[in-house]
Chain A
Amino acid sequence: NAGVTQTPKFRILKIGQSMTLQCTQDMNHNYMYWYRQDPGMGLKLIYYSVGAGITDKGEVPNGYNVSRSTTEDFPLRLELAAPSQTSVYFCASSAGTADQPQHFGDGTRLSIL
């Protein structure tokens, strides 16, 4: 059972570098989400998608970009990495209506130095 797969699991970036966090799901879910979780905090929604070609901003989108060219993949792009983007990033997906629970990947721990 692959479910939601995120790569990489860990990454250290220098300030100003860019990178893409990968997320793939094999459950044929239409809805996909990117969250960040800072220590002692809940999850903050960065971007979400309701289907291929459709994305929208969440609560904290600044500094990030997304695309959704296929149902399976929902990559998150950091363009000019800043220390404030040091966090744990979780990708999630859900099926059917928005009432369906979200299933999470294992996360990417990102440090910006």
Chain B
Amino acid sequence: QKEVEQNSGPLSVPEGAIASLNCTYSDRGSQSFFWYRQYSGKSPELIMFIYSNGDKEDGRFTAQLNKASQYVSLLIRDSQPSDSATYLCAVKAGSYQLTFGKGTKLSVIP
């Protein structure tokens, strides 16, 4: 069974700091990796996606992928209180289906 593991948190960081969110996955055939942000009571919204090993940057967000270690991470620089949310890692491997982790709750303290 394909599994995606995330630390449930909560992860608390001070405003302006770097938040580091981590995700591991079990299926070595996984091809695509997505990070979604979900505010309480709202639907998931896509933050970033990454397909290749290495780093991908978009504004304050950086996704990092290491397929050999089956590890994907999301860094949020200059964290803001508005970044406080649950971050869902999702992985796709050879099908139309995404497998989601349970999410990490991030709290940015002003």
Residues of chain A having any CB pair with chain B under 8 Å = 31, 40-45, 48, 50, 58-59, 90, 98-99, 101-107
Contacts and interface: CB of A to CB of B under 8 A. Distances in A.
B44 A43 contact: yes
A40 B102 contact: yes
Contacts of B103: 42
A98 B100 contact: no
A103 B102 contact: no
B22 to A, nearest CB: 15
Contact of B100 (A43, A101, A103): A43
Interface stretch (B57-65, B67-75, B91-99): B91-99
B97 A45 contact: yes
Given A42-B88, A99-B32, A90 B43 contact: yes
A101 B17 CA distance: 28
Residue among A42, A58, A102 having the largest count of chain B Cβ atoms under 10 Å = A42
Interface of B: 4, 8, 31-32, 34, 42-46, 49, 51, 88, 90, 92, 95-98, 100-103
B89 to A, nearest CB: 9
Contact of B96 (A48, A106, A107): A48
Contacts of B95: 98
Given A99-B51, A99-B92, A45 B32 contact: no
A41 B45 CA distance: 16
